[in-house]
């Protein structure tokens, strides 16, 4: 009589993986690393700019820069997932400096940089406001600054006055906020008064804006 097949060994139970987990991912929209997925950590306050919003924003920026990125020096003060900074790097920015304070986030950004061989990217674990103050002291200026800070913590109110001193003439700022930054004539708060909103839109509860200093907005 034929032998009965041996019972297959039971699969071992899955062991939970400890450490930060990826809640989802976003993708680079254009450039050399187009369609490359970027994992997003399940970290408190981490809120990556959605793909479709980034596509719109980079269309705005491309229009302002005539599609030319080769000389762009970019500062991403609240890097998070790195979606904005790596997008700029993918499109050929000369340099992209990403800032974040959270150790697991910084480690993941370093991992992504290594996988992409992104030599034009520098990642620094530091406080955004301290980095801006340091840039002022060194006379360092940027063509494009990304401001996507945690909401309800008045980071924009504190960062934008510093950005007037580290943005090159004709430079651009991309800012996300839980509130619209467009105000009636004469009604803008002091920290917003020097800025012109070139473009603005809303996705869900998020308002996003492209800003230029009024002295160079004409």
Return the pLDDT at 89: 98
Q: Mark out the alpha helices in 25-179 (DSSP H runs).
A: 51-65, 83-90, 103-116, 128-138, 155-163
Which of 134, 158, 156 has the alpha carbon at shortest distance from 211? Answer: 156
Phi, psi of 210 (to 5 degrees): -115, 125
Q: How far apart are CA 45 and CA 5, in angstroms?
A: 54
Helix (H/G/I), strand (E/B), else coil: 28: coil
Question: In sequence order, what are the beta bridge partners of 153?
Answer: none
* Distance between first and last Cα of the chain: 93
Where are the chain's structural domains? 23-211
Q: What is the DSSP letter of 216?
A: G
Q: How far apart are CA 96 and CA 10, in angstroms?
A: 50
- Give me the torsion for CA of 169, 84, 178, 190, rounded to 10°: -20
Domain boundaries 23-211, CATH class = alpha beta
Phi, psi of 207 (to 5 degrees): -100, 135
Return the pLDDT at 8: 45
pLDDT means per 10 residues, the chain with 218 residues, are 47 35 76 94 71 95 96 96 96 98 94 96 97 97 96 88 97 95 87 95 94 78
């Amino acid at each position: 009589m034929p032998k009965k097949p041996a019972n297959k060994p039971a699969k071992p139970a899955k062991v939970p993986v400890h450490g930060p987990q990826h809640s989802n991912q976003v993708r680079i929209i254009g450039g050399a690393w187009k369609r490359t997925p970027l994992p997003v950590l399940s970290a408190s306050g981490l809120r990556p700019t959605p793909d479709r919003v980034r596509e719109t924003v980079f269309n705005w920026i491309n229009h302002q820069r005539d599609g030319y990125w080769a000389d762009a020096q970019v500062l991403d003060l609240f890097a998070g997932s790195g979606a904005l900074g790596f997008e700029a790097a993918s499109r050929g920015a000369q340099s992209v400096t990403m800032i974040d304070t959270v150790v697991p986030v910084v480690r993941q950004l370093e991992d992504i940089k290594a996988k992409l061989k992104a030599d034009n990217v520098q990642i620094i674990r530091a406080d955004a406001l301290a980095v801006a103050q340091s840039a002022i002291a060194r006379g360092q200026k940027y063509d494009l600054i990304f401001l996507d800070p945690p909401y309800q913590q008045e980071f924009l109110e504190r960062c934008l006055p510093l950005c007037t001193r580290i943005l090159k003439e004709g430079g651009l700022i991309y800012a996300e906020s839980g509130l619209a930054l467009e105000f009636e004539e004469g009604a803008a708060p002091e920290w917003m008064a020097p800025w012109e909103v070139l473009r603005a839109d809303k996705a869900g509860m998020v308002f996003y804006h492209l800003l230029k200093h009024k002295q160079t907005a004409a």
